[in-house]
Every structure is written in C-alpha cells, then in structure tokens.
Structure 1
Amino acid sequence: MSEIKVTVWNEYRHEKQNEHVAGIYPEGIHNAIAQHLAKQDGLQVRTATLDEPDHGLTDEVLRDTDVLTWWGHLAHGEVRDDIVEKVRRRVLEGMGLIVLHSGHGSKIFERLLGTQTGALKWRDDGEKERLWVIEHGHPIADGLGEYIEIPKEEMYGERFEIPAPDELVFISWFEGGEVFRSGCTYRRGKGKLFYFRPGHETFPIYHQPEILQVIANAVRWAAPVQGAQACYGRVAPIESVRP
C-alpha cells in the first residue's frame, strides 16, 4: 500500500501574537499535529500556513495531497477565494478533509457544507469535557475507550448550525451542562470530510495522545479510494433503443 500524503494546514496567527499560546505551541499547532502524524506508519506529512505563498496550497501541493487537515480562527476572511475553490474541487475529486475546532467558521467548511454561519454557543472558561464515543465500530474511534476526558477546554454547545452529519462519531458533554456534536462525517463528491471539535489554542489539546490518535485515525479514514468510474454528460445507450 502506498503512503498517504498529508498536508497539515494552520493559519498560524495565535502562536505569533499570544505569548500564552506560543508557550503551548512554540512551533505552531500545525507542527504539534504534524510531528505526531509523521511518527505513524504509512503517512507522509508536510505543513502549510496562511502567510506562505498561495497559503502554502499551491497547485502542486494540492495535487500531491491525499488528506488535508485545517485549523483556522482569526483569519478566515484572509483565505483567498480562489484557493478555497481549488481545495473544494480537490475534495470533490477524492481528497480527504479534516476540519478542526474553530475551522467550522472557515470558508472551505461553509462552502462544502452549504452553511453560511456555523453558529453555535461557546464559552472559553476552561472546563472539563467528556468526549463520548457513540460509534464504537467506526475507524475514526479505533483504539479508544468509551470516552476521552479533556481536563480544560473551550465549550462549544448546541445548537450547532450544520447539516445533519452522515455519521456522528462523538458527542461532547461539558462541565457547565452543554452538549455538542463533536465528530461529524460527510461525503462530498468522491471526498470524505470529518469535523473534529477539540482544539482551542489556549489549552494543550494537541498534546493529548487520544486527540492525536483520533486525528491519525481520521487521516486513514479520509484517504482517497479508487472507487467506481463515474460518467457524466450525454452518452450513447447501452441497449438498443426503439425509435
């Protein structure tokens, strides 16, 4: 089996502007994720960030990417529309996309899901979260127990303004009482999309082994498969058609 080529994308702004975040992720959120993925068998990993030319997502990089992970927050509006459209087309062609935490407000997430708001409740007080596995046989939940406990995290609460997911892998419960659909899968064209909620920048979420395990599992799940050939447009009949 050939290696899965992964590009870990991050807007990389909080780490440059906030000393607390820089202390947690001195090399950026993207490198915290990429360094874990690079240790996994069968994955070939690169990173890309917002301020690189073409946001690090050149035509060559996108052609050479099987699965793209996406973390953004402060600068959704700075992502060029033409790059978003290229990513969208690659997903429809079969590239996997994993959208993390506040990436629910990104242009690519909204464009693929057809939502314009991604509206939700939130509170960044650093409360306990239990991330419950509700599809125990799903590949994204491979190797997990009944739940993942996160000591301190930002609360996201329902209602979350998204289309109903194809599969709901995780539901979160927060210490303040709210719940949230935290692991949602979708298919768009030939591509697979997974939204995974944990990952507020002021807490060390991407240093927690179980969270990184979920991302690695999701990369393997979202990797392209050959599938059946599709045909579009006007075609000749297979059988004889009477005039």
Structure 2
Amino acid sequence: MLNITVWNENRHEQNNPKVRDIYPNGIHGAIAGFLQDEGLKTRTATLDEEAHGLSEQVLQETDVLIWWGHLAHDEVDDLIVENIKKRVLEGMGLIVLHSGHHSKIFRSLMGTTCDLKWREADETERVWVVDPSHPIVEGIGEYIELEKEEMYGEHFDIPAPDQLVFLSWFEGGEVFRSGCTYQRGQGKIFYFRPGHETYPTYHQPDVQRIIQNAVQWVAPIERPAPVYGNAQPIEHIKVKQQD
C-alpha cells in the first residue's frame, strides 16, 4: 500500500477565519481526508512541527509527498529541502499544488524562478484537459469549471513540461499551464494549479479525483536502483594488438 504524506505550512488556517471556516482541519486535513476515503494510507505534516514534520524517517517511509505552501516558503529549512530532493531523485513521487510553485523544493527541481502573473478577483477558472490520454485525467470530462479562483497567468517561468495535462482559462482573459508533469531522476512530479486558500477548491469532486489520480501516477515503480560509477564489463573485452 502507498504511504502518502500531505504537507501544508498551515499558516492561513491559523490566522484567517475565512480559511479556517472552509478548511477547519486545515488544507492538509481536507486533502488527507478525501485520500483516506479512497482507502489510501495518509499522514500529514506541517511547517511548525519538528523538522517540519518531515524527518528522514518520515521521508524514507513516504511514497508520495503532496506539498501546499504560500506565506512561508523561506522558513522551510534548506536541509529538509535537500532531503526531499534526494528522495525525489531516488523515486519518491511529488505533487506540488497551487502556490507551491514558489516553494524551495519546486524551484530547486525546476532550476528556474517559477514566477507568474496573479490576481485575486473571484474569477471563473476553466481547466481544460489537453492530454485526454493521460492517466491523471481518468474520470474527468473535457474540462472542469471552478466558479471562483485566483488567477495565475502566463508567462509561467518553468521548463517545458514533459507532458502538459491541463491548460486553464480565466474570466479576465489569461491562460495558464495548470497541470504539468516532470521526471527528475527516478521520481515523477506533478504540478497542479487550482487551490487558493479562500476558495473551497479542494472540496470540489473533480479536483479531488485529479489529485487521487496523480497520487497513483507519481507513485514509485518497484525496481532495483540504477548503479553508477566505475563498472566491470558484462562481456569479455578482447585485448587489442598494438601496431
């Protein structure tokens, strides 16, 4: 069975009554809840826990890490970020949500600023499926529509995705690459845009289905780790005669 860790900085929920009303158990609690409803083994971790709740033991036991952050990216310890990156390169799956695009771990894995345009104006977001063959869109129609969301707009300063799964259109006219996959080392990464804290986005069934599908897609594949360094020959190497 997969072991999933849902990480959230958990600051908005402590300081903003509106967010607390929408997510009384925190954004991490809401995401963990609908994953647990699907029979998935899920734990949560937050910024203010020791080691941000992501000790080496927790990371070693984690198959898929889901990341939500916004206010406190700079408070995440660099050593923890390196430990997460090491685990991704070893094969741990990573799902980065919404404003996690500016997290230290996502920027480190992308190698770019990950900057974008943004606006809070209660806009409709239409999230179009642009790769209908991808496993992450199983059970999803041509698009999903969110009545109110924060706008993210291009240009999004990320490397070209390995696969572009979703493209968002906003009421104000912008578009955005809102569902992107990457592979780094042995690990798979999925960035998914929706999820502003003052909207009930993670209660939306299609959003939940996408995250559930993404968990399965980024999950590690059981196989021996690659071997690096100086290698002995597999076949006999004939001694070449010197002229």
TM-score category by the smaller chain?
over 0.9
The 3-state SS of whatever aligns with 2:231 is coil
Dislocated runs of 4+, deviation >6 Å: none
Trace 1:35-74 onto structure 2 (pairs within 5 A): 35-41=33-39, 43-74=40-71
The corresponding residue for 1:201 is: 197
* CA drift at 1:228: 5.5
| Larger-gyration structure (1/2) | 2
Deviation at 1:229, TM superposition (A): 4.5
2:234 is aligned with 1:224: no
Match of 1:153 among 149, 152, 169: 149
Cα displacement (A) at 1:169: 0.4
**Secondary structure at the residue paired with 1:202?**
coil
Aligned length: 239
> Match of 1:39, as an amino acid?
D
| SS at 2:32 equivalent | helix
Q: Deviations over 1:117-168 (max 9, x none)?
A: 2111110111001000011121100100000000000000000000000000
Q: 2:52 and 2:217 mapped to 1: Cα distance?
A: 25
Q: Which amino acid aligns with 2:66?
A: T
Q: 1:126 aligns with which of 114, 122, 129?
A: 122
TM-score, normalization by structure 2 = 0.96
Amino acid aligned to 1:230: P
Aligned mate of 2:76, from 76, 79, 86: 79
- In 2, Cα distance between the equivalents of 1:236 and 1:32? 51
5+ long unaligned stretches in structure 2: none
Query: 1:239 pairs with 217, 235, 238, which one?
Result: 235
User: Quick one: which of 7, 11, 25 aligns to 2:9?
Assistant: 11
SS at match of 2:31: helix
Residue type matched to 2:80 in 1? Answer: I
Distance of 2:48 and 2:207 partners within structure 1 = 26
Q: How big is the shift at 1:77?
A: 0.2
Residue pairs, 1:130-145, within 5 angstroms: 130-145=126-141
Match among 19, 22, 45 for residue 20 of structure 2: 22
For each residue in 1:7-57, what CA deviation from the matched residue of structure 2 results, as whole angstroms up to 9, or x when unmatched? 00000000101111111111100001000000113x200000000000000
Q: Distance in 2 between matches of 1:230 and 1:70?
A: 27
Q: State how far apart, in whole Å, the 2-side matches of 1:46 and 1:229 are.
A: 26
Partners of 2:120 and 2:195 in 1: CA distance = 12
Alignment root-mean-square deviation, CA: 0.9
Are 2:91 and 1:105 aligned?
no
In structure 1, give the amino acid aligned to 2:148: K
Q: TM-score, normalised by structure 1?
A: 0.96
Q: Which runs of 5+ in 1 are unaligned?
A: none
Tell me how far 1:227 sits from its aligned partner.
Answer: 3.6
- 2:163 corresponds to: 167
